[in-house]
Chains A and B, each alone.
Chain A
Amino acid sequence: MAQIPGKMVLAATACLLVLLGTAGAQGGGELRFCLRTEPKTFDPLKVADDAAVSIRYLTGGVLLRMNRQTQALEPELAHSWKVSKDGRQITFKLRSGLSFSDGTPFSAEDVAYTVQQLMDPALHSPTGDAFRSGPGPVATKIISSTQIAITFPAPVAGLDRLFDQVPMMSAHSPKGEMAVLGPFMVADYRPGATVLLKRNPNYWKADAQGRKLPYLDSIRLDIQPNRDVEMLRFKRGELDLINSLDSEYFDKLASTSPQLVHDAGPSLDSEQMWFNQVSKAPIPAYKKNWFRSLSFRRAISEAINRDDLSRIVFRNHAQPAAGPISPANKFWFDSKLHPQAYSPDAALKLLETEGFRLENGTLKDREGNAVIFSIVTNSGNKYRERMAVLIQEDLRKIGMQVNVVTLDFPSLIERIAQTFDYEAAMLGLTNMDLDPNEQMNVWLSSAENHQWNPQQKSPETAWEGEIDRLMRAQAASADAKKRKESFDRVQEIVVEHAPFIYLINKNALSAISTTVEDASPVILHPQTFWNAERLTVRAAR
């Protein structure tokens, strides 16, 4: 019998050891992309900035998760949940046998601890603010180690959806906030340079074949505020994706590598302009009369060519806006609304009904004042500056002289929120949440962000009073259908009275390397890595 040589035995043993060694690692590769700012915190309850939101999404384990593609709520750490009829209580049934990244077991006690932390006034949690429906404490009742009931002092609209933003924290782990239940955990952080996330070895999910998720070994997040550098690095293959892309960059990249770019359609973001209607604003009384005139505002809206804004400024990567809610928000968008048609002739007719008249190409009001006003916007945003130039030309066609003023952001905010020393403003609204409750601070007449006339003691117009009533009604109801009816009416009133003149909804543009597999960009944040746990990066680079 032939003997097996000793060298062959050694080689076979070495191969076996290598195979055993790699069995633990799944070889999903490393995903690399940029954060545009430094994350301000790793505490998931204190998160307020985009970079920290991205890290929270990748590391935090939540009870319920909104599927970014279907916009439906799906069970995560809780396998089922129930909201009481009065909208004050939610009961979760948790999955059993789960543990945090450091091995600490997860139970209802951790949920209670997280909720107490979240609602602690001393913590000033921006996420917690959405749950503050009324005065009084939030009660948590641990029914068993896998069941918990949370009771709020007043009804919270869309209560279950809010838990999408609340990662569970461990009540007992010595690692505190760094012990996570999400697919990844923070392994290394170099301020100003990189955040390295590694696979959470205790992550509870597996795919249909029983393979543990996530597939990726790690995610490297480079902190890079310069978009040109980000683009350059992506082109060189040093990055695997760009989560949010400008239309100009998109087209440039599309012209050379169309397979890398993705236009997911209209996003939740909108661009709008409004006129200053604040009573105490230091602007002439006759201008205040213009800005408070419904016909004036509607005429402006009709005189703006939104198709041109979309086609020229955003290179067709935007859609004319119909109203406050983008069609991207499938449930809350009021399908009865349509973008305002461009009609300078109709705008002029509307203005004539208010006593305006065109004299030698100049529009004058009833008292003979030429219609001249300024639009302020923030300097450095080239898309907004270009929109302002197009609007300036559109309004010139109906005899209005518009002066475009760009200001640095602090000066702009001071004028629109404190001194009210401006005439018209143009800014954008970035929506992270689908639920209209997030916009309470915009629509209530007493709110600070009720931009055209903030902090009113009581509604100054009947329609603002009606919006207040409808917003409060929808917030107090747990019935989704009734809430939708109320908020549809809010949208219709806003379009009818044009306190905000909605211009466009930008498309969600992204770039993804062909080495990334199973990427499916969506319109909701995080557009490209919402399914990070199922992404893989091929090694070939």
Chain B
Amino acid sequence: MSVFRKLACAVLLLVVSLSMAANWLAPAGYAKQYRTQPNAPPTRQHWLGTDEVGRDRFARLLYGTRISLLLAPAAALISTLIAALVGGLAGYLGGGWARIAMAVTDLFLSLPWLFLLITVRALMPLNVSPLASVLVTFLMLGMLGWTSAARVLCATSRSLRGSGFLLQARASGIRGVRLFLVHVLPNLTPVLYAQFWISIPVFILSEANLGILGLGVAEPMPSWGSLLKELEGLVSTGEEPWKFAPLILLVLVVTSFQLVLSNREEMAA
């Protein structure tokens, strides 16, 4: 493991640990409004200052990180499982099944995500708690984000169809679901791992983009998306560098993920 990868692992570990310790590091919570100090610069009491309605930025960053880092892997897991089912099976079965499955995948790929998410949000019941809004956001991301991984898995699975060990398994009388679960799926695991790790930063960024558009996680709950929204507009950022903290953290985490991921990809290869 290179020094960079070790460093990336350490960064990820530190960020995860800090976010998990949010209750102790920021006991007042992410929603408390210090109304006498809105837009305050960093002080001893508020390390990253306060936001426009007087909430502690550091507390919101810690809790927002926890939400984004917990739920992005969950969404990645959902999308990888769907991709394994659709792509893996399509490649394994081949023929008409593969064509239909890939046509569906292409259809999903061609969907305009943003408008779809806006429509889904508009159709959702309004009275959902902030926690439910977080879960729904990441669930939607997971349900929609499986398509690219499905194509990769379909190709990998197809390449396994003519392999010697499958011929031998078939000759031994193993068929259908058992053949897929016991012999095909384990051989897809490295690709599945890689797709899982790739999806995490993608979903973190997707949620951040949704937050900037006013979709996604509901107030007062923070997420990286809602925190990044503060960076909108030139005037709000120029002379207040501490507002860049969520952006710096996002870049740091995504870069660390990529560095760790490159090791995984090498392992998969």
Contacts and interface: CB of A to CB of B under 8 A. Distances in A.
Interface of A: 227-228, 231-232, 248-249, 252, 308, 312-313, 372-374, 376, 379-380, 382, 385-386, 388-390, 392-393, 401, 403-408, 411, 414-415, 421-423
Interface of B: 31, 33, 35, 38, 52-54, 118, 121-122, 126-130, 213-215, 218-220, 232-236
Given A374-B126, A411-B118, A404 B218 contact: yes
B53 A403 contact: no
Nearest to A411: B122
Nearest to B115: A408
Contacts of A313: 52-53
Contacts of B233: 227-228, 248
B53 A232 contact: no
Contacts of B33: 389-390, 393
Nearest to B234: A228
A401 B219 CA distance: 12
12 contacts: A228-B235, A232-B234, A248-B233, A252-B235, A312-B35, A312-B38, A376-B126, A388-B219, A408-B214, A411-B121, A415-B126, A423-B126
Contacts of A249: 235
Contacts of A372: 127
A386 B52 contact: yes
Contact of B122 (A252, A390, A404, A407): A407
Contact of B35 (A228, A308, A423): A308
Nearest to B219: A404
A422 B124 CA distance: 11
A271 to B, nearest CB: 15
A464 to B, nearest CB: 26
A227 B218 CA distance: 26
B148 to A, nearest CB: 27
B31 A393 contact: yes
Contacts of B118: 408, 411
A281 B100 CA distance: 43
A423 B236 contact: no
Nearest to A287: B127
Contacts of A408: 118, 122, 214
A231 B127 contact: no
B126 A422 contact: yes
- Classify the secondary structure of A's interface with B: helix
A401 B121 CA distance: 20
Contacts of A388: 219
Given A228-B233, A390-B33, 15 more contacts: A248-B235, A308-B35, A312-B52, A376-B126, A379-B213, A386-B53, A389-B220, A403-B126, A403-B130, A404-B218, A404-B220, A405-B218, A406-B214, A411-B118, A423-B127
Contacts of A382: 52, 232
A403 B132 CA distance: 11
Contacts of B232: 382
Given A386-B53, A392-B219, A379 B235 contact: no
A405 B220 CA distance: 11
A421 B128 CA distance: 14
A224 to B, nearest CB: 14
B35 A373 contact: no
A308 B36 CA distance: 9
Contact of A380 (B214, B234, B235): B214
A388 to B, nearest CB: 7
A347 to B, nearest CB: 18
Contacts of A373: 127
Considering residues A232, A374, A403, A406, which has the most beta carbons from chain B within 10 angstroms of its beta carbon?
A: A403
A410 to B, nearest CB: 8
A389 B234 contact: no
Nearest to B130: A403
A389 B230 CA distance: 15
Contacts of A376: 126
Nearest to B229: A382
Contacts of B219: 385, 388-389, 392, 404
Nearest to A381: B214
A392 B127 contact: no
A374 B127 CA distance: 5
A252 B237 CA distance: 11
A232 B213 CA distance: 23
Contacts of A403: 126-130, 218
Considering residues A379, A408, A411, which has the most beta carbons from chain B within 10 angstroms of its beta carbon?
A: A408
Given A404-B219, A408-B118, A248 B53 contact: no
Closest 7 CB pairs of A and B: A379-B214, A411-B122, A374-B126, A406-B214, A404-B219, A252-B235, A228-B234
Nearest to B129: A403
A414 B118 CA distance: 14
A249 B221 CA distance: 26
Contacts of B54: 312
A231 B234 contact: yes
Considering residues B35, B38, B53, B218, which has the most beta carbons from chain A within 10 angstroms of its beta carbon?
A: B53
Contacts of A227: 233
Contact of B53 (A312, A407, A414, A422): A312
B215 to A, nearest CB: 7
A387 B191 CA distance: 47
A415 B54 CA distance: 31
Considering residues B122, B128, B130, which has the most beta carbons from chain A within 10 angstroms of its beta carbon?
A: B122
B267 to A, nearest CB: 42
Nearest to B214: A379
